Amino acid sequence: MDLLDSIRQDVLRQKEEEIVNHFCMVVCFREFAETKPAVDVGVSGKCCCLFAERLKTDNGTRVTATDSSQDGLFEQTAEVLNNLTPGKRKPYIFQITVWGGKKKKGDMRSPRMAFRPGALYEFRQIDGVSFYADIPTGRAQFDSEGGKIIEVLPPMIKRKAGRDAGKKRAKAKTQEATSRQSTTKDDDEEDVIMAAEGKSENPVVAVRTRSNGAVGPNCCGAERQRACMCT
């Protein structure tokens, strides 16, 4: 029971560390790395993916990222960063190495997550924060359950495409509803015209009432005239 309690205490401490050491800016992550934290200190963060590359050993993916606020300005940010030399680019980026998950039976490849440039990701349970070639780095373990690494927002292009598709669907529905209303209106008008034409086929007969006044076609329709004749 003492061992179980000890493990639980470590889990709580780890969660507290991730809450306290949460970063969404490169400058903050860099400052934390400069304190040379212990290897097992837990960190969490949110970032915008610039690009990702598979390790040569094919057992992980190295994600190069920048501030989370740049997900809406990804194309401009990436273009400007590409104009810098690799050395001058370092203050604006950090890297997370995501180790592959456990291999499934019958599948020689390790399960992996596809990191998309411009997408916003949240990383949990990052450890091993340090510097490599003057770039702040950390490491995380891929979780097939999706709890440790989460894609918060897709790339802006995907978001625009989704919104445009939604607008097109809404526009199509509006046009369809308008078309239905127009068709119904046309049908009603056609019925009215046909009814009017049917009435005009009956001969209009001028009759005299008891007041000895002539009742012409402008006074009432054929049905009214028949009623008058019945009287």
Tens-digit pLDDT profile for residues 179-222: 666 555 555 555 544 444 444 444 444 444 344 444 444 444 44
The answer on 134 and 208 residing in a single domain is no
The answer on 121 and 26 residing in a single domain is yes
Q: What is the pTM of this model?
A: 0.65
Average confidence score pLDDT of the chain: 78
The answer to whether position 116 is within a domain reads yes
The answer on 84 and 7 residing in a single domain is yes
Helix (H, G, I), strand (E, B) or coil at 124: strand
Question: Which pLDDT belongs to residue 61?
Answer: 95
Give the H/E segment covering residue 50: strand 43-54
The answer to whether position 89 is within a domain reads yes
The tokens for 143 are 């979780």
pLDDT in tens, 31-65: 999 999 999 999 999 999 999 999 998 889 999 99
The answer to whether position 146 is within a domain reads yes
The answer on 138 and 228 residing in a single domain is no
HSE-CB for 92 with a 13 A CA cutoff: 15
Domain region containing 198: 194-231
Q: For the chain, how many structural domains are there in total?
A: 2
Question: Which pLDDT belongs to residue 180?
Answer: 60
Look at the block and give the residue holding tokens 């008008």: 189
Give the H/E segment covering residue 45: strand 43-54
